[in-house]
Chains A and B, each alone.
Chain A
């Protein structure tokens, strides 16, 4: 994990994020199941969460995530940004998402 926190309010739209290399995920219907290899924790996310997780397989900026969510789920940019920030904080708490420093992302 790099110095800046994913959950920080100071995360800029241009900051790139990605899934931790320690995380594996699969879809079960519309939901997503994530397993963290280091801590063994299992996290289940809903359809929107799965969509975000799939986008996070490659480094992507927070801004691009917002745009994609807003477009895919017909949400206002403000709503998408607000919900995304909360969701990223939850993923950060579970060590699922990282700010890429190089080649660590899945």
Chain B
């Protein structure tokens, strides 16, 4: 059976294959463009509730699990949760800013969580640019050191960056840095409004030239990679996805994945804040089975693609279209408070 058939089967049978767990909105960095709404109210899930949730997901045959945040590694039960994901047989991705990923922690992550990959965030090729974004002095030097030791310890590290007005002049240098570290680099974007509708991060949207440069470099490096692979000398790769089929939806929202925020809210996507239910009140199985939210999100993604009939996706200069970015851009402000948070003031 081919993977295409199994993908179809996953959809036909309504299997929840992919779950993102936002363990916390807390973070040990202070990124200017962070999309999280750190003032979002709610009651955090206990370790016992995570255990129930993870056992339910394993029973539902969920395969892929992402542990993210905020900064997931500063969650007080990160390793207990991580050990459980290993014990229950999930394929785990940890998305971290890398600040806590010291050599000792990398060993623990490798041995106790055994993730498929650890994704870390890079915001520039030099300390001044990276630290401008994180607003924590020394975070760049620490990140580079942590990546190097994590690779030495045998973790599969993948680097993710978002082009911004602050780092767009360093795109080549970021590729070079990652080549030196022996890790792949992927760019994602655009810089998006915060999940509460606050558009402040858009102040550092890069120029369209930045995305053109990323696209050109990725294409060139892919060609070089193919050539060198043919010569038996593969270079450190760049993740490239070339979509050849006409997309039927703007993304895969609502089909086989959900996001669960730190307070137990089950969302179709981490950036679409409407909730399908809360695991404080209902099992993930019931929420996935009963909520109409997922089908509605899928319909929205299918409708959204219609505006790009004969042209490529484009949004805020980036070659994508994200429903959540559009929604959060248009949340507006409930009052004249000026924060742009979209929530009424007291």
Contacts and interface: CB of A to CB of B under 8 A. Distances in A.
B48 interface: no
B63 to A, nearest CB: 5
B15 interface: yes
B116 A37 contact: yes
Interface string A24-49: 11111101010101001010101000
Interface string B159-196: 00000000000000000000000000000000000000
Given A46-B1, A106-B89, A31 B63 contact: no
Contacts of A35: 63, 91, 116
A21 B1 CA distance: 24
Interface residues of B, number: 18
Contacts of A24: 63, 89-91
Contacts of B3: 42, 44
A44 B10 CA distance: 12
Nearest to B64: A35
Contacts of A27: 61
Nearest to B114: A37
B62 A26 contact: yes
B135 interface: no
Contacts of B345: none
Which of B6, B62, B114 has the most A CB atoms < 10 Å from its CB? B6
B13 interface: yes
Nearest to A46: B1
Contacts of A106: 89
Interface in B36-93: 61-63, 89-91
Contacts of B2: 44
Given A33-B6, A35-B91, A44-B6, A26 B61 contact: yes
Nearest to B1: A44
Contacts, number: 40
Contacts of B6: 28, 31, 33, 44
B216 interface: no
Categorize the interface residue count of chain A.
Answer: 10 to 19
A29 B9 contact: yes
A28 B91 contact: no
B9 to A, nearest CB: 5
Interface string B1-22: 1110110011001010100000
Contact of B10 (A25, A28, A40): A28
Nearest to A21: B114
A46 B89 CA distance: 19
Contacts of B1: 31, 44, 46
A28 B89 contact: no
A90 to B, nearest CB: 14
B19 to A, nearest CB: 12
A42 B7 CA distance: 12
A25 B114 contact: no
A52 to B, nearest CB: 16
Nearest to B13: A29
Interface of B: 1-3, 5-6, 9-10, 13, 15, 17, 61-63, 89-91, 114, 116
Given A26-B89, A27-B61, A31-B6, 15 more contacts: A21-B114, A24-B63, A26-B17, A29-B9, A29-B13, A31-B9, A33-B6, A35-B91, A37-B91, A37-B116, A42-B3, A44-B1, A44-B2, A44-B6, A46-B1
Interface of A: 21, 24-29, 31, 33, 35, 37, 40, 42, 44, 46, 106
In the A-B complex, the 6 residue pairs with the smallest Cβ-Cβ separation, listed nearest first, are A26-B61, A26-B63, A44-B1, A24-B91, A35-B91, A44-B6
30 contacts: A21-B114, A24-B63, A24-B89, A24-B90, A25-B89, A26-B17, A26-B63, A27-B61, A28-B6, A28-B9, A28-B13, A28-B61, A29-B9, A29-B13, A31-B1, A31-B6, A33-B6, A33-B63, A35-B63, A35-B91, A37-B91, A37-B114, A37-B116, A42-B3, A44-B1, A44-B2, A44-B5, A44-B6, A46-B1, A106-B89
